[in-house]
Amino acid sequence: MDKYVIHGGESLKGSVRISGSKNAALPLMVASLLTDGDVILHNVPHLIDVEVLIKLLSRLGKSITFKGHTVHIREIGVKKIEAPYELVKKMRASVIVLGPLLARHKHCRVSLPGGCAFGPRPIDLHIKGLSKLGAKIKIDHGYIDARVSQLRGASMILAGKYGSSVLATDNVLMAAALAKGTTVIETAALEPECVELMRMLVKMGASIDGIGTSVVRIKGVKKLTGVEYTIIPDRIEAGTFLAAALATRGNVTITDCEPEHLMSVLEIIAGMGAVVKIGRTEIEIKQHKALKAFSAKAMPYPLFPTDLQAPFTSLACTVSGVSTIAEGIYPDRFTHVAELGRMGATIDVEGNTALVHGGKKLVGCDVQASDLRNGAALVVAGLCASNTTSVHRIYHIDRGYDKFEEKLTALGASIEREKDSIL
Ligand code: EPU
């Protein structure tokens, strides 16, 4: 296992290129299961999650090459239609192979994803949606066993008490694309990654109306073709670099990003008093005066993303006054708070809201990542803390940030990857 050793205190300076989106790349790669044609994807980030998915797709009859940032997926003959526990437990998103496997093979077995470090992550909406399309689903020895003789279009609401589900929308979309008749998802997720899946499916021959709105109509077709497609920039990576730039009071330009996907984040940053210059694919952050405390509430897109809640909590620690950060999607997603407390942060969590009493210098120490975004938050904290911060268990961070330490080093940070003796 590796750790990051960070000597904090350097203001980040310069420009950094944003990689392709993890949460877009994963479903777009999975959509290759819907066709026997070749799927070629550009701007795919180098991440552990992508590697895990390549292993899973290989088990499901695909041959995959990954050169530069291009993934080429070819069908070589499906032998097994099972997504095993050892791969699904490493990456919950694997559950979206259910929809396409059912659509093409009428039967599949997918391991139940199991627990998650930041609270319950049920899959009832996935099961509800696929059942509405006619699938017979049972849970058998830790596996979801799904069968159908013919998927048939249906109308459905795919939202729980915290709103629409991104991956349940993806799962149903892919199954409905090859179903008989029309499916209406009344509460489709609006996240850009989900919209990209719809756009790519259309390029593969699917018939989908209402893309980018919450009511999506999918008219099933008999066959989908191969496709060549470019992955959108990662808005969460972009937001993490913005948080790191602000936390270290740096002047940073992020390039190759999609500013439109970050409007809620940019509004908060502008409200803090930073100078933000927005170009077509670039965002420049400059700081001329003291930053102000802020309020943020993580909610479904286009509101503030839950995946930036933890990095922005670290940022709030550096700003005088009380910042209020609420979590409206995963009410228990506060595992970073105790670790930030070890670095000297004063944060009270009341219900789903963190009250961050900021302005006190963080002090480096040993901290431990327990999921991807809390790991990123600890790196942001380490970059602005005094002394040395060692972030353990960075395999969580490797799941979702492409060349993280290289990019931060190029911005002037002192961060090194070392072998870790603490497991
Ligand atoms: N939910 C249910 N039942 C379900 C599915 C979800 O109640 O069957 C609830 C969840 O518990 C949550 C809410 O619905 O309260 C929304 O969860 P959603 O299903 O949208 O999450 P997801 O699709 O499993 C994706 C991202 C997450 C991101 C969330 C929310 C991928 C691979 N994952 O997960 O990304 O936090 O949407 O935006 O796209 C990450 O990248 O670190 C990450 C966790």
At residue 258, the pLDDT reads 98
89 vs 238: which has the higher pLDDT:
238
The CA 165 to ligand 1 mean position distance, Å, reads 6
Residue 307 alpha carbon, nearest atom of ligand 1? 36
Nearest-CA residue for atom 29 of ligand 1: 166
123 CA from centroid of ligand 1 (Å)? 9
pLDDT for residue 115: 67
* CB atoms inside a 10 Å sphere around CB 412: 15
Write the residue with the smallest CA distance to atom 6 of ligand 1: 165
Per-residue model confidence as pLDDT tens digits over 373-409:
999 999 999 999 999 999 999 999 999 999 999 999 9
Angle between helices 235-247 and 372-384 (to 10 degrees): 20
Active site residue 116: yes
Tens of pLDDT along 56-109? 999 999 999 999 999 999 999 887 799 999 999 999 999 999 999 999 999 999
The tokens describing 370, both together, are: 């327990």
Ligand 1: distance of its center to the CA of 306 in Å? 9
For residue 119, the ligand 1 atom closest to its alpha carbon is 11
Q: Which domains does the chain have, with CATH numbers?
A: 2-18+233-419 (3.65.10.10), 22-222 (3.65.10.10)
Is the Cβ atom of 91 under 6 angstroms away from ligand 1? no
pTM of the model: 0.98
Distinct helix (H) and strand (E) counts, the chain: 14, 26
Predicted confidence at residue 313, as pLDDT, reads: 98
Q: Which member of 108, 116, 194, 365 is catalytic?
A: 116
CB of 137 closer than 8 Å to CB of 131:
yes
pLDDT at 20: 98
State the pLDDT confidence band at 218, using cuts at 50, 70 and 90. very high
pLDDT at 114 over 80: no
Among candidate residues 335, 333, 337, 332, the one with its CA nearest the CA of residue 316: 337
For atom 37 of ligand 1, the residue with the nearest CA is 166
pLDDT value of position 83:
95
Q: With 80 as the cut, is the pLDDT of residue 288 above it?
A: no
Q: Which residue has the tokens 């396409």?
A: 100
| 19-53 pLDDT, tens digit each | 999 999 999 999 999 999 999 999 999 999 999 99
Residue nearest to atom 25 of ligand 1 (CA): 166
In percent, the amount of the chain with pLDDT more than 90 equals 95
* Any atom of ligand 1 within 6 Å of the Cβ of 354: no
The Cα 376–Cα 397 span in angstroms is 6
Residue 120: pLDDT band (50, 70, 90) is: confident
